[in-house]
Structure 1
Amino acid sequence: MGNRNEIQTCKTLLEQYMGKQHQEKHAEKLSFTGVGDKDVYNISAPFEDQGKLVIAGRVEARDSEHSEVHFFEEQNGVWSPIEGKPTYQLQDPFYTHIHGELVFGGVQTYPHPTVPNALMWRTVFYKGASIDELELCFTGPDGMKDLRLVELQDGSIGVFTRPQGEKGGRGKIGFTRVASLEELSIDQINKAPLLEGQFVDEEWGGCNEIHLLPNGILGVLGHIACFDEQGDRHYYPMAFSFDPETGTHSEIELIATRSEFPAGASKRSDLVDVVFSGGVVCHLDGTASLYCGISDAEAHRITIQDPFAKFL
């Protein structure tokens, strides 16, 4: 693994991806019920909670940014809210497990402190033995989405950051580590060094889900995004590896494109080409199921080659 001097753009990454041979991919829209006429998108990967397979999903009206996160279970191919489970005023849910506990999080929005009628955001984390027992355990820096945690081989915590502004531009990935969740602090997050050579200043990206591989390397599921000349957004799911001992990382590679999923609805016309990585489940046969938000309006699943197999 090494850090390239030449930074790959969305355009070059897309050209590389389209130039490769890909196995035929099975993709499908997931069906949700029990949320009225609202959309469910930007879902997590499924995870087990008290014997049930659960998905956390962003639930939102088509003409609104005010979302809730609900927990869903599948019956007969349809995902329904689990009765009696808590809901959260959050966007873009995710989960991990640290020291035997479920750690659940999402993006919390709130009125901007200085700009009228605007929103600010931050990443918040809850932890507990199960969904029923989650308690707030950490609130991230104001203005930072895509903050992710992972338990490392030695039991310490890897922290992937995504500053914007003077340090991160439109959004770049950083990394630091702490001994425990209790030692996590906003100051440490703000001081986390950026990974070199990942995003040109006009583009941005972030981490969505971190997988600890058996060799101690981290498989990172993320996204890279850009604007085109018309101002439309383009989001691509991507993956790379990161060695927490040396700080080196592999090159970003795209793992799917919007055209590989079924046609569907879009929240706005500038969001048609948006695939937002939610989570990935890797299988023993060398494939993986990638769970995504599509065009800020739908949730889909696609079978791809395991994006982390090459790093084992």
Structure 2
Amino acid sequence: MAIFESGKKQTCKELLLDFKSKKQQLKGEKLHFVDVDGRDVYNITAPFEDAGEMVIAGRVEARDSEDSEVFFFVQEDGYWRPRKNAPKFRLQDPFVTKISGELVFGGVEIFPHPEIEGALSYRTIFYRGIDINSLKKFAIGPDGMKDIRLVELADGKIGVFTRPQGKIGGRGQIGFIKIDSLDQLNIEVINNAKLLTEQFIEEEWGGANELHLLSNGLVGVLGHIARFDEEGNRHYYPMVFAFDPLTETASSMEIIATRDNFPPGPAKRPDLVDVLFSGGLIRMEDGRAELYVGVSDAEAHKIVISDPFLKYE
């Protein structure tokens, strides 16, 4: 099925050079969130339909804290406001998808580290339901793993993209495994995912943020690639690649936006200025796409770009 050559390892700097060589005149815009008690809203999902209404899930957090809640927002008069009577979750970095017509929602739960006093660990929590108000917890990921994402494949199976770190995965690599139903999603399955080893160099890392089933059965992966610089500052870039679930091979990655493409704004910390966190992408019928991102761990923006997955279809 694959209509691409398997990817090769490329660094952030190489991918940035490729992106800048295209000299695209891209300009994003800030999304405005209100009624959140002065807290920041960032690392949002793309808008999705729930009960006939377009909704965004977003991470809501004070600038000086990591104590986060996920709110669901609806748009009124150009502003995104918390949806009335919608649940809130003590999670970070929300994501949503549809599997067999069912809404699957998740995020990252923070909890005291079991071995290091005063430190925190994290894990991914999954919920499912007919709609937002019927969501029930159904699965938990391994401790210390973010960026676990699901996609319904063309054959009805479910693709699971993972991101182990440490002894397996280093600073963070992407893994893949297939399951037959949501009932099979568990820690053992996630830990058994096969690593895609031809993506990140040892010093850099990345993960999948949102998955799109393409018309030919390939999976379009919206993710991020990241690195530290010499001063310890973080640099995160939205990237995409195509994945063939039959051969379990991936195309080369491509950066699709940088911080310079968005208006200036605050950062949560000085080391997070150059951070774009891919939230979601809406493909449009005119060959373009809306990309939604968290910016500098303090704001949420969107930008219209060329549909990065068209060339794989």
The TM-score range, normalised by the shorter chain, is over 0.9
The answer to whether the 8 Å contact 1:3/1:196 transfers is: no
Counterpart mapping for 1:11-50 below 5 A: 11-22=13-24, 24-50=25-51
Shift of 1:220: 0.2
Distance 1:4 1:290, change over 3 A: closer
| 1:246 aligned residue | 247
Secondary structure at the aligned position of 1:267 is classed as coil
Any unmatched runs of 5+ in structure 1?
none
- Whole-Å Cα distance in 2 between the matches of residues 85 and 189 of structure 1? 30
Provide, for residues 182-221 of structure 1, a one-character-per-residue CA deviation record: whole Å limited to 9, x for no partner: 1122112111111121001111000000000111000000
| 2:222 aligned residue | 221
- Whole-Å Cα distance in 2 between the matches of residues 143 and 196 of structure 1? 20
Provide, for residues 64-107 of structure 1, a one-character-per-residue CA deviation record: whole Å limited to 9, x for no partner: 01100000000111000011110000000000000110000001
| 2:72 aligned residue | 71
Shift of 1:37: 1.0
Superposed structure 1 runs of 4+ greater than 2 Å apart: 1-5
Shift of 1:21: 3.4
Provide, for residues 215-240 of structure 1, a one-character-per-residue CA deviation record: whole Å limited to 9, x for no partner: 10000000000000000000000000
- Bigger shift: residues 94-103 or 178-187: 178-187
- Whole-Å Cα distance in 2 between the matches of residues 100 and 4 of structure 1? 32
Q: CA RMSD in A?
A: 0.8
The answer to whether the 8 Å contact 1:43/1:278 transfers is: yes
Shift of 1:248: 1.3
- Whole-Å Cα distance in 2 between the matches of residues 84 and 185 of structure 1? 30
The answer to whether the 8 Å contact 1:60/1:67 transfers is: yes
1:187 aligns with 2:188: yes
1:3 aligns with 2:6: yes
Shift of 1:2: 2.9
Q: In structure 1, give the amino acid aligned to 2:241.
A: F
- Whole-Å Cα distance in 1 between the matches of residues 158 and 150 of structure 2? 7
The answer to whether the 8 Å contact 2:173/2:197 transfers is: no
- Whole-Å Cα distance in 2 between the matches of residues 26 and 225 of structure 1? 22
1:162 aligns with 2:166: no
The answer to whether the 8 Å contact 2:57/2:72 transfers is: yes
- Whole-Å Cα distance in 1 between the matches of residues 7 and 294 of structure 2? 30
Identity of aligned residues (%): 60
Q: TM-score, normalised by structure 2?
A: 0.98
| 2:262 aligned residue | 261
The answer to whether the 8 Å contact 1:258/1:274 transfers is: yes
Q: In structure 2, give the amino acid aligned to 1:21.
A: K
The answer to whether the 8 Å contact 2:7/2:253 transfers is: no
- Whole-Å Cα distance in 2 between the matches of residues 297 and 185 of structure 1? 32
Q: In structure 2, give the amino acid aligned to 1:2.
A: E
Q: In structure 2, give the amino acid aligned to 1:15.
A: L
- Whole-Å Cα distance in 2 between the matches of residues 196 and 50 of structure 1? 40
Provide, for residues 38-61 of structure 1, a one-character-per-residue CA deviation record: whole Å limited to 9, x for no partner: 000000000000011000000000
Secondary structure at the aligned position of 1:31 is classed as coil
| 1:153 aligned residue | 154
- Whole-Å Cα distance in 1 between the matches of residues 216 and 283 of structure 2? 16
The answer to whether the 8 Å contact 2:176/2:193 transfers is: yes
- Whole-Å Cα distance in 1 between the matches of residues 27 and 275 of structure 2? 19
- Whole-Å Cα distance in 1 between the matches of residues 180 and 288 of structure 2? 33
Distance 1:248 1:180, change over 3 A: same
In the alignment of these two chains, the number of paired residues is 310
Q: In structure 2, give the amino acid aligned to 1:254.
A: I
